[in-house]
Structure 1
Amino acid sequence: MSRVRTVLGDVAPAELGVCDAHDHLFFAAPALAGQELDDPAAARAELESFAALGGGALAQWTPFGLGRRAAALPAVSRAAGVHVIAATGMHQAAHYDPALLERLGGRGEHGLAAFFVAELTEGLLDGDDPDGPRGTAKAGMIKVAGMFHGLDAHTRRVMTAAAEAHHATGAPIGVHHEMGTAAVDVLGLLHGELGVPAASILLGHLNRFPDPGIHRELAASGAFLAFDGPSRAHHATDWRLLECLEELAAAGHTGQLLLGGDTTSAAGRASTGGGPGVPFLLRVLRPRIASALGEEAAEAIFTGNPARAFAADWR
């Protein structure tokens, strides 16, 4: 039976409700020094604002080593009354201390896959030490990342390990695409070479590369297409988001579309920063999608599609 693995335990897909399919409650990266998402009270406030608008679930795509605060996630989820899906996996090599990469690299692809599997089936590490203590909350997805218009050796190694972990557990794989690029290459590797079913792959940030032809090509595979991070000032393509969704819907791919806020800085929070934050999805974007595509399509994008995208027959 398919279930969605949350930090408070496995739930039936229908229990998720309205879902932010890609966001961050906790996140820390050198490129955003001073803007870390590291405050549990602020994370709770953001989730509560989302819940007040009807939000029921949020997928935190923060992978290992980027300040995901795994030990704090269950309490934040419980207090806000919102399901939280956590991630194992790894981002691009540039986001990590070389010494940590060396430690993980010494385990080889199979060892890295075993690391992911343990976080999916036993519990998430409480900190950023790969040999540190493990909590009871489990990951419900694997996060990986491509490069700008290509895949480097680190990306291929991590994706190979992620595919192995998927085959061992059934976990869905979410992909960061740098500026929305290299999605065809990623799909060719994960699905074509490594045999991950397309329906278990969530291709992220496609709004940052608004090429309708490529979007239709990706959708034809059966993968989920995630459009995340709307209305962030440094994304000049945001104004084309609805156009992209309308074209995919017209081509018959409404059932593969996902939306997420992708909040990566403290200043980007709505409840404690300058916004737009997590609530923007329901306060502004959902009504616009319902107006442009119809209420049935909006319900699929925010509720029905995430329920299928994050569900797995866990092994």
Structure 2
Amino acid sequence: MSFIRTFHGNVNPADLGFTYSHEHIVCIPPYWAEQQADDLLLDNKAKSERDVLDFKNLGGQAIVDATAIDYGRDVQAVKEIAEETGITFIGTAGFNKSFLWSASIPERLKHVIGDYQTFSDWIELKSINELADFVIQEIEEGLEGTGVPGGQVKFGTGYNRITPLEEKTLRAVARAHHETKAPIHSHTEAGTMGLEQIELLKSEGINLEYMSFGHMDRNPDPFYHEKIAKTGAFLSFDGISKIKYAPESTRIGCIFELVKKGYEDQILVSGDTARKSYYKHYDYGLGLENIIGKWVPRFIEEANQKGFDGEKLVDKFFVQNPKRCFTFKK
């Protein structure tokens, strides 16, 4: 039996539709709150919802909320947005990356995590299998005890390094996957350490066809991308609209390289829209509408110019590939 697990239970993969595969909708990351980094606090449900409606009005149907427990997700707010807009949301169990873990654990999470001072304390003092049990519980019983089930498991590593605690969470997430069959997503800081993550995942017996590697466009290296694609994993180009990192031509060029090599069935596209200044209704940014409204037409035009079938590729990246990537195969 195959299904995709959403905020409102299991759905048929065929019903998922046009999907952004990595976004953040309502969240107050404890680390950034302590740093008073207001731009990184998506703290207004109504404004987030207006951006979701822009996405819906252009034909969007589903969004993967890639916000883990250490990034301050607001499960109830996103559930309400799902109910009020009709957009399908997929939630995320697991962890992000280690520099966030110096933050104090909010009081509201103590009932599910325990009475630890920081996320680092919690991760350090728990065993790998105890952390795996926590992730399993979030998939099978609900994120943060809300009853809203997670639809993927996640781990992350830092820039050009994997700390001991990050390796610990990677192994915990791998073991949770074996128990639940949930798809796995990885945060790669600036697109680095994907190959090193793969070696650790192999040591845990992971079939890499269940994996999606995030932020591949932050490291626009076709050789590196092909090495990851050869494992059967999905590659997430989730920095669309972020010109400060690279022009869209660079991202699109990397995508075309993978398509030419036969990996079009392993590509995901999204925006990782995690700042007020990226959102239209918070701070006049390009918003959730930009990819579906402007990037997709540009991509189709450029793909057709190069002899590809642009509309077919868009259907793969936003419909066919997500419905396979986020499926539980039991």
Q: Equivalent of 1:42, from 40, 47, 56?
A: 47
Q: CA shift at 1:237, angstroms?
A: 5.4
* Corresponding residue number in structure 2 for 1:131: none
Q: What secondary structure does 1:222 align onto?
A: coil
Q: CA shift at 1:147, angstroms?
A: 1.6
Does 2:188 align with 1:177? yes
Q: CA shift at 1:74, angstroms?
A: 1.6
TM-score, normalising length from structure 1? 0.93
Residues 209, 237 of structure 1: 8 Å contact kept? no
Q: What secondary structure does 1:144 align onto?
A: strand
Residues 49, 271 of structure 1: 8 Å contact kept? no
Q: CA shift at 1:107, angstroms?
A: 2.0
Q: CA shift at 1:265, angstroms?
A: 1.0
Q: CA RMSD in A?
A: 1.4
Structure 1 unaligned spans of 5+: 126-133
Residues 227, 260 of structure 1: 8 Å contact kept? yes
List 4+ stretches of structure 1 deviating above 6 A.
Answer: none
Residues 48, 80 of structure 1: 8 Å contact kept? yes
* Corresponding residue number in structure 1 for 2:129: 110
Greater fraction helix: 2
Residues 239, 270 of structure 2: 8 Å contact kept? yes
Measure, in 2, the Cα distance between the counterparts of 1:228 and 1:149.
Answer: 19
Amino acid at match of 2:61: G
Measure, in 2, the Cα distance between the counterparts of 1:262 and 1:106.
Answer: 31
Q: CA shift at 1:238, angstroms?
A: 4.2
Deviations 1:267-308 (A, max 9, x none): 211233222222111011111222214211110011000000
Deviations 1:182-205 (A, max 9, x none): 111111211x21111111110010
* Corresponding residue number in structure 1 for 2:22: 22
Q: How does 1:161-310 map to 2 (within 5 A)?
A: 161-190=172-201, 192-236=202-246, 238-291=248-301, 292=303, 293=308, 294-310=310-326
* Corresponding residue number in structure 2 for 1:156: 167
Measure, in 1, the Cα distance between the counterparts of 2:236 and 2:299.
Answer: 15
Measure, in 2, the Cα distance between the counterparts of 1:117 and 1:13.
Answer: 21
State how many pairs are aligned: 305
Amino acid at match of 2:4: V
Q: What secondary structure does 2:295 align onto?
A: helix
Measure, in 1, the Cα distance between the counterparts of 2:312 and 2:267.
Answer: 13
Amino acid at match of 1:305: N
Q: CA shift at 1:162, angstroms?
A: 0.2
Deviations 1:52-90 (A, max 9, x none): 010000001110122210122221111111100111111
Amino acid at match of 1:75: E
Moved more, 95-104 or 254-263: 95-104
Q: What secondary structure does 1:45 align onto?
A: helix
Amino acid at match of 1:73: V
Q: What secondary structure does 1:50 align onto?
A: helix
Structure 2 unaligned spans of 5+: 105-116
Residues 261, 280 of structure 1: 8 Å contact kept? no
Residues 21, 259 of structure 1: 8 Å contact kept? yes
Q: What secondary structure does 1:290 align onto?
A: helix
* Corresponding residue number in structure 2 for 1:130: none
Amino acid at match of 2:325: A
Deviations 1:105-163 (A, max 9, x none): 322111100000000000111xxxxxxxx111111011211221221111100000000
* Corresponding residue number in structure 1 for 2:5: 5
Deviations 1:224-252 (A, max 9, x none): 00001212243135430110010100000
Measure, in 1, the Cα distance between the counterparts of 2:316 and 2:242.
Answer: 24
* Corresponding residue number in structure 1 for 2:327: 311
Q: CA shift at 1:259, angstroms?
A: 0.5
Residues 20, 278 of structure 1: 8 Å contact kept? no
Q: Equivalent of 2:139, from 103, 112, 120?
A: 120
Q: Calculate percent identity across the aligned residue pairs.
A: 30
Residues 42, 276 of structure 2: 8 Å contact kept? yes
Measure, in 2, the Cα distance between the counterparts of 1:77 and 1:290.
Answer: 29
Measure, in 1, the Cα distance between the counterparts of 2:207 and 2:299.
Answer: 28
Measure, in 2, the Cα distance between the counterparts of 1:139 and 1:38.
Answer: 21
Amino acid at match of 1:298: V
Does 2:102 align with 1:83? no
Change (3 A) 1:237 1:154: farther
Q: What secondary structure does 1:55 align onto?
A: coil
Measure, in 1, the Cα distance between the counterparts of 2:221 and 2:70.
Answer: 32
Residues 21, 260 of structure 1: 8 Å contact kept? yes
